[in-house]
Structure 1
Amino acid sequence: MHVVVAGGGLAGLVAARHLAEAGAEVELFEEREEVGGRVRSRTVDGFTLDRGFQVLFTAYPAARRELDLDALNLRRFAPGATIARPNHRSTLSDPLGQPSAAVPTLLNRDVRTGDKLRLFRLQRELKRREWGTLFDGDDTSIREYLAAEGFSKAFVENFAAPFYGGITLDRSLSTSSHVFEYTFKALSEGETVVPAAGMGAIPAQLRRRAETAGATIQTGTGVTGVDADGDEVTVEAGGETRRPDAVVVATDPKSAGDLADIETPTEAKACVTVHCSVPDHQTLDTGSRILLNADDDRPNTVAPMSAAASEYAPEGRDLLSATFLGEQDDDDEELVETVREALDSWYPENHFGELEAVAVDRIEFAQFAQPPGFRSSLPGVDAPEGPVYLAGDYTQWSSIQGALESGKRAADAVLADDD
């Protein structure tokens, strides 16, 4: 069986591996010079920069299945977050996950005791639920869900809005509550990590595993056409026509829609990440815990990347990644100055005159919109006509989990139809 995979993101690489392991002849084409899709890293002046702020939740079932987590040399962010506003910082963490944070968490006045108890109760409730059931049942917005669970307005505004604004790129909390439950369970049952070599180490590992299984991967060449006619399909790639037995379209949603002639999610969630550095003597008291902006969304979060993964910064410097939600009209210099002003206000005892910009990532399509009930409108992996299949998080939900899972499901569908 000959299968062409269009796209070398996480989903395409997973699909290629499983198909090759099942004995298929697999050719994967990726138009970029590197694999990874939206999950990529680069090196600038000795700093490791991921494409925007990205992390991996180790509890994701597909991550545990598809990745060799030990081989990725994972570096851990401390659980919880530091809540910041002008002249004020406080800690909210999971005392079970980080006992040393128990006292500051209990003394945190930004979040009421009742809200802390509700968090622990929710952890226990979600731990009893199977992963596969978390998208079942009634759906509502995260904001409505938290209100129904009894969380206070102070908790929602001081913690949930900036924290889940960072995860869903939606500080209004209008995203599906099913996404909240899935990610909250993952946060409670695993760790939040990055590979020592950057998030790009994840697709690099997936590529090696696919090639070891026998797949051929060609970068710098994209699939430009897919034409299904009954049980036959032709593929245009690199100026040549191929007639495989099946095609897995694993490109971005818009390109997938064009190639497979189907409707895909196109409403985008954008973000801008400012990568900046400070001298390593200018230690932030948050450690490897993410900073949440409880005052406004400029920036929404600041992640101390090199505090979690020292390999991300050269000797003598620390790397911070500040994320703004949505597209930004300000130019790069103005955004860097906004980050400096925010840090100055959160740390009045400090001075960030030596903060330097490393790079700015403007990501127009970081996620697709996921309002309540969004899953009912997503295409299935076998939605296209003929022997054409889809692999991408837009067939599941917008996440690394969704991408990895979709690749496995696409491969399974191809193999099932070949029996």
Structure 2
Amino acid sequence: MTEVAVAGGGLAGLVAARHLAEAGVDVTVFEERDEVGGRVRSVHEDGYTYDRGFQVLFSAYPAVKRELDVNALAPRRFSPGATIARPNHRSVLSDPLRVPSAAVETLFNREVSTADKLRLFRLQRELAGEDPETLLDRGGSTIRDYLADQGFSKWFVERFAAPFYGGITLDRSLGTDSAVFEYTYKMLSEGEIFVPAGGMQAMPEQLAQRARTAGATIETGRAVTGVDGADASGATTVEVGAETLSVDGAVVATDPRTATDLTGVDAIPTEALGCVTQYFSLPTNRAPNTGKRIILNAADDRPNTVAPMSAVAPEYAPEGMELYSATFLGVPEESDAELASEVRQALQSWYPAAGFDGLELRRTDRVPFAQFAQPPGFRAGLPDPDAPDGNVALAGDYTRWSSIQGALESGRVAAELVGANR
């Protein structure tokens, strides 16, 4: 008999299932799709790997260290820092202490002043001694205002912070709570960003295998359609299609809108930030030397960033070909072909000596709900994990902050709540 039902086989649900199973609970995960992963999915076609939207893992995230076997994912690491690009000009901004080979490029980067570079290093030292969870409880201003208060110049904000943190928060205006900046900047300073060699979906697949090894059951193609934690007998009722289960507790780890429908908790944030990610191939013998850094569009957000995926992870493309991802913020109305034309024009302006006639659009992913909005003070309005009636807990980044860290951590918290109340 299932003692705890988990609705949703995304990151949070899989982590919750593993922790419950390790505690000796008979737990079953019900996932509507035919595969686990939620918003973290990959497609493999014709030798290419396409992640659903540009996503990466931060190795310094506490929950990544706790919940994942990173080495087993065969991490393919981006070089720290970024390439700042605008028409006919590129420059590198990196941490010379971590990447000595980039010290000269960073030193002579004229896009960012020496004073701003020193401010970055000072901030890095200041945040090094802070507890990550404490940082999330700070904030209260926008990232843009925070950077201004720290003394960063307008040029730094527009040419580096806006595209770089626009990519992280999907908000190039930098209107996100400054707590997100402090947390992620600390993580970037203390770790690396990477993708698994097998694509981002290798992460939820590993989580699923660890849950199964612990004793959890995972049923795909089965959606939870109702949860009632207010049974007078103390039981929790979970509806899965035409089947009604009586369980000791439930974890709701679905997308925000479905979680709202299942639990009636109105505080779950549903205001969405979206993006469009396009994937392009180019013959290796015609490709520019991008290195392994994300390329920031310092001129505008069309596209906001380009990532050289196969330069970082050769497994993402067949031999003799390169794969790039380009990300537009929001959900542009232009056609796939129109967006691809803008990417081609941007790349050609950044690398005028290269030839992009062979650049081929291979895939476009429009992701209307990639993150929930995180304006200043957003955490005060997030729902508590135990907000639903009865022994039902919420598990999702929307109980913490919009990130892989938030999702993974929320699964552990939900498991502790439900397991303790059985």
Q: For this structure pair, what is the TM-score category when the shorter chain's length is used for normalisation? A: over 0.9
Aligned pairs (5 A) from 1:93-242: 93-230=94-231, 231-242=234-245
Provide the rounded CA distance (Å) in 1 between the counterparts of 2:94 and 2:45. 32
Match of 2:318 among 296, 314, 321: 314
Secondary structure of the 1:243 match is strand
Where does residue 330 of structure 1 map in the other structure? 334
Deviations 1:168-187 (A, max 9, x none): 00000000100001110110
Asked if 1:259 is matched to 2:262, the reply is yes
State the Cα distance separating 1:229 from its structure 2 match: 2.1
Maintained 8 Å contact 2:287/2:355: no
State the Cα distance separating 1:228 from its structure 2 match: 2.4
- Structure 1 unaligned residues grouped into runs of 5+: none
Query: Which letter does structure 2 place at the counterpart of 1:381?
Result: P
State the Cα distance separating 1:37 from its structure 2 match: 0.3
Match of 1:395 among 381, 392, 399: 399
State the Cα distance separating 1:138 from its structure 2 match: 4.6
Maintained 8 Å contact 1:6/1:250: yes
State the Cα distance separating 1:44 from its structure 2 match: 2.0
Maintained 8 Å contact 2:139/2:178: no
User: Displaced runs of 4+ in structure 1, greater than 6 A?
Assistant: none
Query: Which letter does structure 2 place at the counterpart of 1:387?
Result: N
TM-score by structure 1 length?
0.99
Secondary structure of the 1:350 match is coil
Secondary structure of the 1:359 match is strand
Where does residue 281 of structure 2 map in the other structure? 277
Where does residue 252 of structure 2 map in the other structure? 249
Maintained 8 Å contact 1:44/1:358: no
Provide the rounded CA distance (Å) in 2 between the counterparts of 1:273 and 1:137. 32
Aligned length: 418
Over the residues paired in the alignment, what is the CA RMSD in angstroms? 0.9
State the Cα distance separating 1:281 from its structure 2 match: 1.6
Asked if 1:386 is matched to 2:387, the reply is no
- Structure 1 window deviating more from structure 2 (282-291 vs 81-90): it is 282-291
Maintained 8 Å contact 1:221/1:238: yes
Query: Which letter does structure 2 place at the counterpart of 1:248?
Result: V
Maintained 8 Å contact 2:288/2:354: no
Provide the rounded CA distance (Å) in 1 between the counterparts of 2:139 and 2:44. 44
Deviations 1:217-259 (A, max 9, x none): 0001110111222432211113211000001000000100100
Maintained 8 Å contact 2:139/2:177: no
Provide the rounded CA distance (Å) in 2 between the counterparts of 1:97 and 1:45. 36
- Structure 2 unaligned residues grouped into runs of 5+: none
Deviations 1:273-316 (A, max 9, x none): 01011111233333010100000000000000000000000011
- Structure 1 window deviating more from structure 2 (259-268 vs 231-240): it is 231-240
- Structure 1 window deviating more from structure 2 (207-216 vs 280-289): it is 280-289
State the Cα distance separating 1:335 from its structure 2 match: 1.0
